[in-house]
Structure 1
Amino acid sequence: MGKKRVLCFGDSLTWGFDPYKKVRMEDGDRWTGVLQKHLGSDYLVIEEGHNGRTIATDDPAEGEKNGLKYVIPCIESQSPLDLMIILLGANDLKRKFQYTSMDIAGEMQIFLEKVQSHNRFRMEDSMKVLLISPPIIGACGEGSWLSDCFDFERCSKVSLELSNWYKQLSEMYGCMFLDAAKVCAVSSADGVHLDIKNQRYLGEAVYRKLKDEGFC
């Protein structure tokens, strides 16, 4: 019997952007690496983090960032898959989009519809899905190099509202759910990204969730 394959589909929080050094963290410091360590050798954690990735919005200023356009090719290329973990929504909070929490939830509904339709009709419903709502973006870090891009006062309010929407969507589409804001916090260094300690907190929380749900 082969390893269980776990796809982690996200943005810079999954890629492992270091808020202090502004480079990618080491493998074992990212939440995906923490999860791999806890799951052990019978599992393969596949990292699909992309800086700037949105849920379903084109970003002309930053290039190919639309997660909706890439997700099915990604699933197909990484199949077979036992689990997909989705952590998206932080970049949809950017000032230039001016989205409400309902707007972002609407994007995520379209995203999950696409994923779960593919799962049911092409994969015989064999892939479990864990949906994670992002931590509170802009709760700290005022004056950082990202504060203008994200309009911290507004996006902290909007991101605070996302967990309730995501929870409803997870129930609607048969997903497991985790609220990242309850287990980790963004760094005051930039107000958006997780430091090494909080990457670890998130990875450990994901592992506990999967254990509680009977996946491992």
Structure 2
Amino acid sequence: MGKRIVCFGDSNTWGYDAVTNGRFPDDVRWTGILKKLLGENYTIIEEGLCGRTTVLEDPLNEGMNGLKYLNPCLMSHSEIDYLVIMLGTNDCKQRYALTAKNIADGLKRLIIKAKETPAWAKKPQILVVAPAPIEPECEQSPVAGEMGICSEKSRALAKEMKLCAKELGCDFFDAEQIGTMNQIDHMHLDKESHARLAEALASMIRERV
């Protein structure tokens, strides 16, 4: 059986395409490209949900709390070898009123829970991916009413998440290095960024697993 990699995220892992208001095809999503790049010795498991947060209950939408779903998710896919977490974008929504540090603290709770879950083939190995920042234009885009004021907070996430990853012994990647947003809602990765993200993560995963 190939090495099992769980990719736990939100709409940018689910593959939301703002141009069509639908989902990118398998061979366009970063998870699908990652599967192709890594080959048959790896099993890539998509666990993306639009709207998912690190640890927050959404008062408007059911089931968005990543912490509550994490244990059954990992156990259902066990035994796993590597966990990729890319969350935090939705935590930036104005209605949650959090700081970037608060969001990173939520991520810390996720990581600790993941490590304690008896779903690992060997020792826990986790990669924290700081999401590419939301652009300021999002706040005047079609999703402005949903997101509110969010871009400045989003840009501060990578610094806090890097500290969190270091503290807990996780790998870290800042998706701002490769990410460009679509020019409609300015908060979802464009097609080209999915490919670049997959290439970057494939290199890291080959070194670790």
Answering whether residue 82 of structure 2 is matched by residue 90 of structure 1, we say: no
Answering whether residue 131 of structure 2 is matched by residue 138 of structure 1, we say: no
Count of aligned pairs: 209
Q: Show structure 2 runs of 5+ residues with no match.
A: none
The residue aligned with 2:208 is: 215
The residue aligned with 1:126 is: 123
Answering whether residue 193 of structure 2 is matched by residue 198 of structure 1, we say: yes
Answering whether residue 166 of structure 2 is matched by residue 167 of structure 1, we say: no
Deviations 1:140-184 (A, max 9, x none): 345321123223xx4221111111111111111111100011111
Alignment RMSD: 1.6
Deviations 1:40-74 (A, max 9, x none): 11111000000100100001201111000000110
- Structure 1 stretch displaced more, 184-193 or 41-50: 184-193
Q: Given residue 144 of structure 1, which amino acid in structure 2 is its aligned partner?
A: S
Give the counterpart of 1:150 among 137, 147, 165: 147
1:55 touches 1:108 (CA, 8 Å); kept in 2? yes
Q: After TM superposition, what 4+ stretches of structure 1 lie above 3 angstroms from structure 2?
A: 122-125, 139-142
SS at match of 2:59: coil
Tell me how far apart the structure 2 counterparts of residues 36 and 139 of structure 1 sit (CA, whole Å): 32
1:138 touches 1:150 (CA, 8 Å); kept in 2? no
The residue aligned with 2:5 is: 6
Q: Given residue 136 of structure 1, which amino acid in structure 2 is its aligned partner?
A: P
Deviations 1:72-100 (A, max 9, x none): 11000000101100000010011211211
Tell me how far apart the structure 1 counterparts of residues 189 and 28 of structure 2 sit (CA, whole Å): 11
Tell me how far apart the structure 2 counterparts of residues 51 and 14 of structure 1 sit (CA, whole Å): 8
Tell me how far apart the structure 2 counterparts of residues 145 and 210 of structure 1 sit (CA, whole Å): 36
Post-superposition offset of 1:208 = 2.2
**CA distance change for structure 1 residues 58 and 141 in 2, over 3 Å: closer, same or farther?**
closer
1:139 touches 1:186 (CA, 8 Å); kept in 2? no
**CA distance change for structure 1 residues 209 and 139 in 2, over 3 Å: closer, same or farther?**
farther
2:74 touches 2:117 (CA, 8 Å); kept in 1? no
2:52 touches 2:66 (CA, 8 Å); kept in 1? yes
Q: Show structure 1 runs of 5+ residues with no match.
A: none
SS at match of 1:132: strand
Tell me how far apart the structure 2 counterparts of residues 170 and 143 of structure 1 sit (CA, whole Å): 32
